[in-house]
Amino acid sequence: MNTIPHWINGSPATGETTQAVFNPATGQEQARVVLGGGAEVDAAVQAAAKAFETWSESSLSQRTQVMFTFRQLLVEHEEELGRIISAEHGKTVDDARGEIVRGREVVEFACGLGDVLKGSFSDQVSRGVDVHDFRQPLGVVAGITPFNFPAMVPLWMHPIAIATGNTFILKPSERDPSAANFVAALYQKAGLPDGVFNVVHGGKDAVDAILTHPGIEAVSFVGSTPIAKYVHEQATSHGKRVQALGGAKNHAVVLPDADLEFAANHITAGAYGSAGERCMAVSVAVAVGEAADALVGILERKANEVKVGPGDQPGTEMGPLVTKAAQERVENAVGVAQTQGATVVVDGRGLKVEGHEDGFFTGPSLLDHVTTGMEAYKEELFGPVLAIVRVDSLDEAIDLVNANPYGNGTALFTGSGEAARRFQRRIKVGMIGINVPVPVPMSYYSFGGWKDSLIGDHPIHGPEGIRFYTRPKVVTTRWPQPAQQVAAGFTFPTSS
């Protein structure tokens, strides 16, 4: 049985406590991951703090060269890393490769930090006085990341943190931990000094140690809203900066003038891709007016066409859920929706995949006539369940989305520029797609929602990522001529 260790100061580190890592397609234990706590976090902090002394003083060229090499290694090992992710998460290999590519885009953004980090200069703000500014790294920073994107979400954090001169400690999900160690080995191969990137595996003990350790300056988190609130409260109370991205309930609004076949095709992929285990999944389709019946009919056909199977099997479009508990939770939610009055148009419960009968599979489920009072609408199910809510107008749809406590992503399918403009201006959501179902921004923009989807004020990657992992300095200088006498005043200084 393979044991997955920590990665501290450039070397594997073992421990006595371990936890099973399953293959979701077979339901069988395939490895054990070492679980750490305060001692392991402290060891990682000590290594990272020591490495920061030299890494923070390295040249920008040196840091970006490491990123260029690391980026190339991600390209060369994309297939291998994709299969590691698929085996532990359950998503298809193609889907895993997709998350690697989207994470790699942030590495590419980090490769170009020379332009982004340029400060400003103001000449002669007062007689003989100039002002300029620049940004410096914080120190040791940490990331706590979820199971659903074991490569991409950490890649949204550590390349920017490291390229700006910080050192990093990653606490990945213990459900699919191998990707983190694989990335650590690629960093080492790329020439990153030992201690700059560290991995500590574990559960709540490791999380709490990160949130309270005095040697950690900032914490980035992606996960559920309740835990995001906990992370934000604990870490800020211990003097840390916090990025805390929470849950979501993403709506796709479909107007009667939309191309319904196009809309249904993309909503199906947005709802059932990665088995719905992503914070940008489309979990609610809001059918407006006369679009409803036709849209439901097309969605039913497409849901029944989704090919469910092991993630490493060619042709599979949707793999299993990550754990048995997740499978049971999602299937129970479909049953609760039915008892509360929803129409189960497509029932994914009880699906068995030949040769993988013990896998954590459930099929796509499609629920019609869902109301905002039902659990299937209120809860983030994090599974392949698409709820249809019917409304009479675009304005009613906007009000419905705005009333939801989450504000991560939303989409509008329409052929009307006026409707699109009205929607994107009035909607209270951070990321918006127009005829795009999963509007994840490119790496040179920042990712983050509104309301309960973002706790605090710090979105992730892009310009906000640079600001999060650095702090500014503003320098005011005067270089008087040796013979020049500059009078000092006791009143508050002004420019003149």
CA-based torsion, 423, 427, 432, 433: positive or negative: negative
- Please calculate the CA angle 411-389-436 and round it to the nearest 5 degrees: 15
Q: Would you state the structure tokens that stand for residue 202, as one six-digit string?
A: 């574990």
Q: How many residues does the chain have?
A: 496
User: Can you give the three-state secondary structure of 271-322, one letter per residue?
Assistant: HHHHHHCCCCCEEEEEEECCHHHHHHHHHHHHHHHCCECCCCCCCCCECCCC
Query: Closest by alpha carbon to 61, among 106, 111, 104?
Result: 111
Residues that are catalytic: 279
Q: How far apart are CA 296 and CA 288, in angstroms?
A: 12
Q: 370-392: b or e for each residue (b if 16 or more CB lie within 10 Å)? A: beeebebbeebbbbbbbbbbbbe
Q: Could you say which DSSP state residue 380 is in?
A: -
Query: Closest by alpha carbon to 358, among 314, 316, 310?
Result: 310
Query: Closest by alpha carbon to 20, among 319, 323, 356, 278?
Result: 323
Q: Could you say which DSSP state residue 440 is in?
A: P
Q: How far apart are CA 330 and CA 337, in angstroms?
A: 11
**Edge-to-edge strand list for the sheet holding 28-34:** 2-4, 28-34, 18-23
